[in-house]
Amino acid sequence: MASVPTSTFTQVPAPLLGNEGVPAAMTFNWGFEMPDGSRFSDDQWTLLRHAAELFLLSLRHDPPEGRMPLRKETIRGHFSHIRFLARWMAAENVRRFRDLDQDTVGRFVAMLRARPGRNGALLSLSTAEGHLGTIRTFHMQRDKLDDAPPTAPPRAASVGKRHWKPYGGHPYTPDEIAVPLISGAIELLGDPADQIIALRDRLADLYERLRPRHQGRMLHWHIRRAMLAEPCPCADRYPNPEWPLRRLAFMLDRLGDACFTVIAYLVGARASEILRLEEGCLERRATDEDGEEHVYLVGTITKTSLTEHGDLHRWLAPEPVQRAIHILERLSAPLRELSGEKNLWLHQLGRGRSPLPTMMPVARLRSPMVNVRLNERLAPFLALPDHQGGTWRLTTYQGRKTFSRFIGRRDRTGLTALQRHLGHVHRAMTDRAYVGTDFELAELIDEQAAEETRKALEDLLLAPHVAGKAGVMLSERSPFRGRTGSGDVDAYITEILAETDMRLGVCDWGYCLYRRETSACLGGEREPNPVLRTQSTCSSCANFAVTDRHRPVWEARLERNTALTQRDDLDAESRALAEARIQESLRILAQLDKGNADGVRD
């Protein structure tokens, strides 16, 4: 690998210069003010400034191994962290980056911990990690630079989460969007994907056949005429039927979007990890414990890695993900051949899209482009519904967040489509071993489980109307019952969670305050038995709780079964079942109503 020169800035060689012969690092304002009133561009800071400039240049032109050259906006983020660090170093009389040893970095972390964030609150975990991440990246470049930090700083989360304001900016995709999104993507990757790729291959054949006989406009005219006659799946979703080649290019891109969606939502990998996947990344292997065979997606995690190579990681790959990888391999084959790269997300730069390789430069797809494609192309293509009266904005991160929510929930009834798609690997995924070295995913899953439990407890403690044995018991002891909200309820919940090992499952028809001893569905050590967990079993279980939030489910069940009993053609067994369900629903609803009438429950 080429290394970045370590001498002075004036000797930076041409390849490290930007397009106009101006180093990218030069476009930042290095004349910022230092604690002593001087400017960082003054002579006294020359050594430190040049080291910082070379570091930023190296990110663009010779990034840490396994990482793509950073875009200018990302380098700008590193620049602002370096500015912050340089000022702190000056105040602490630390004159070179190589003096950032463990103790000094420890003092830097202590300063961050004591530093308030916005509105006087704690500094956010992501801001702290941003500062430390820049030092870590600088450290990774140490062999290429004269002056660089000798040790990698700790991760902000490992310093103690209570010191930082937690992450919270990334939402998960709501169920009403996630289900049609994932189902639509999986559907597209079925037969339509085979037909679309076959159409592309036919187009390549057509060119082969017609090129010896026609050229230029005539060639294009014949190709277009032949392609107009070819049926294209989902053709009605492309606005201009007169342009069969653009339509085909559009469809090929949607296949790529669908592949991204399926992998992100069913595997939980970050966008950067998905976009780094290469040909042949599926691997079949038996698990150590029971010898059961699973298929894995093999890639690398670099974001939280302490090495520049990233950490090898295996994600369990359910069948739709395996299919997405096979489709990606076929989609990317022509550009992989053209470029000699193994990456599965190659595309060609330049305006206009062609279904076949052109002379334009080949590049890897990046997250911002995926974001644009998901929102501006795939969402309308799949006709995703509105969310709360507006358009839901998808981001590349939402797949990971939605996945961790799904795995973190002890019940997945609201996401049955996702559960079905995860198939038999689902059990292995809920096993903690699944997250392996992806510690952030483990945290996300824990956070999700804790948040769901908290929300459910709050609902149960405040609800004026509660049904189900466990619900009634908890609610009767609740000092907050029937209130519209209370600041104390938070502290109370924290106390309950600290004192008990309460595991709370959330499903469409109620809450499960899980205890194995009283579990009517004969659940295991940690959670209910998904096979026997039904509305009927829960309705008589000592662990069950219902609030008004679940009333619509029980009302609909009552209505459905009442309608069933009115049918003449119902056999005796089905009638008995329907009547039992009616009684169960009536009992739950009566308990809720009783709370309505007098605020007291039996």
Binding footprint of ligand SF4 on the chain (CB under 6 A): 505, 512, 514, 519-521, 523, 528, 533, 537-538, 541, 543-544
Please answer whether residues 425 and 285 qualify as being in contact, where contact means their C-beta atoms are separated by less than 8 angstroms: no
Q: Reduced to 3 states, what is the DSSP secondary structure of residue 448?
A: helix
Q: Please state, in angstroms and rounded to a whole number, the distance separating the CA atoms of residues 435 and 448.
A: 15
* H helices present in 20-124, as ranges: 46-61, 72-91, 102-114
Least distance from C-beta 186 to ligand SF4, angstroms?
28
Least distance from C-beta 581 to ligand SF4, angstroms?
15
Nearer to ligand SF4 by C-beta: 302 or 585? 585
Kindly give, in sequence order, each residue whose CB lies less than 8 Å from that of residue 589, ignoring residues fewer than 6 positions away. 467, 551, 554, 555, 558
Least distance from C-beta 483 to ligand SF4, angstroms?
26
Nearer to ligand SF4 by C-beta: 394 or 520? 520
CA angle 280, 313, 371 (to 5 degrees): 80
Nearer to ligand SF4 by C-beta: 23 or 528? 528
Residue 467 backbone dihedrals phi, psi, to 5 degrees:
-130, 175
Please answer whether residues 332 and 344 qualify as being in contact, where contact means their C-beta atoms are separated by less than 8 angstroms: yes
Residue 297 backbone dihedrals phi, psi, to 5 degrees:
-100, 125
Nearer to ligand SF4 by C-beta: 195 or 518? 518
Kindly give, in sequence order, each residue whose CB lies less than 8 Å from that of residue 98, ignoring residues fewer than 6 positions away. 147, 148, 149, 150
Q: Please state, in angstroms and rounded to a whole number, the distance separating the CA atoms of residues 378 and 396.
A: 13
Burial string for 275-292 (b: 16+ CB within 10 Å, else e) reads: bbbbeebbeeeeeeeeee
Q: Please state, in angstroms and rounded to a whole number, the distance separating the CA atoms of residues 368 and 52.
A: 27
Least distance from C-beta 530 to ligand SF4, angstroms?
9
Nearer to ligand SF4 by C-beta: 153 or 471? 471
Which among 261, 280, 385 is positioned nearest to 325, based on CA atoms? 280
Nearer to ligand SF4 by C-beta: 149 or 523? 523
Least distance from C-beta 505 to ligand SF4, angstroms?
6
Please answer whether residues 421 and 186 qualify as being in contact, where contact means their C-beta atoms are separated by less than 8 angstroms: yes
Q: Reduced to 3 states, what is the DSSP secondary structure of residue 24?
A: helix
Q: Please state, in angstroms and rounded to a whole number, the distance separating the CA atoms of residues 16 and 22.
A: 9
Q: Please state, in angstroms and rounded to a whole number, the distance separating the CA atoms of residues 563 and 477.
A: 38
Report the chain's terminal Cα–Cα distance, integer Å: 75
Q: Please state, in angstroms and rounded to a whole number, the distance separating the CA atoms of residues 520 and 541.
A: 5
Nearer to ligand SF4 by C-beta: 264 or 449? 449
Least distance from C-beta 518 to ligand SF4, angstroms?
7
SS (H, E, C) 293-354: EEEEEEEEECCCCCCCCCEEEEEECCHHHHHHHHHHHHHHHHHHHHHCCCECCEEECCCCCC
Least distance from C-beta 406 to ligand SF4, angstroms?
17
Whose structure tokens read 């009133």?
Answer: 37
User: What is the maximum alpha-carbon separation in the chain?
Assistant: 95
Least distance from C-beta 538 to ligand SF4, angstroms?
3
Q: Could you tell me the CA-to-CA distances from 581 to 416, 565, 578, 601 in Å, in that order?
A: 22, 11, 5, 22
Which among 219, 252, 234, 122 is positioned nearest to 184, based on CA atoms? 234
Nearer to ligand SF4 by C-beta: 505 or 595? 505
Least distance from C-beta 413 to ligand SF4, angstroms?
10
Nearer to ligand SF4 by C-beta: 196 or 541? 541
Nearer to ligand SF4 by C-beta: 360 or 542? 542
Which among 551, 592, 555, 547 is positioned nearest to 457, based on CA atoms? 547
Least distance from C-beta 246 to ligand SF4, angstroms?
52
Nearer to ligand SF4 by C-beta: 418 or 521? 521
Least distance from C-beta 584 to ligand SF4, angstroms?
12
Q: 510-514 and 544-547: which strand pairing? A: antiparallel
**In the structure encoding, which two tokens stand for residue 20, read together?**
């106009």
Least distance from C-beta 543 to ligand SF4, angstroms?
4
Nearer to ligand SF4 by C-beta: 429 or 538? 538
Please answer whether residues 594 and 580 qualify as being in contact, where contact means their C-beta atoms are separated by less than 8 angstroms: no
Least distance from C-beta 585 to ligand SF4, angstroms?
15
Nearer to ligand SF4 by C-beta: 41 or 416? 416
Least distance from C-beta 523 to ligand SF4, angstroms?
5
Least distance from C-beta 125 to ligand SF4, angstroms?
34
Q: Residue 244 is inside which H or E element, if any?
A: helix 244-267
**In the structure encoding, which two tokens stand for residue 602, read together?**
């039996």
Nearer to ligand SF4 by C-beta: 79 or 509? 509
Nearer to ligand SF4 by C-beta: 131 or 503? 503
Q: What is the DSSP letter of 39?
A: B
Please answer whether residues 470 and 503 qualify as being in contact, where contact means their C-beta atoms are separated by less than 8 angstroms: no
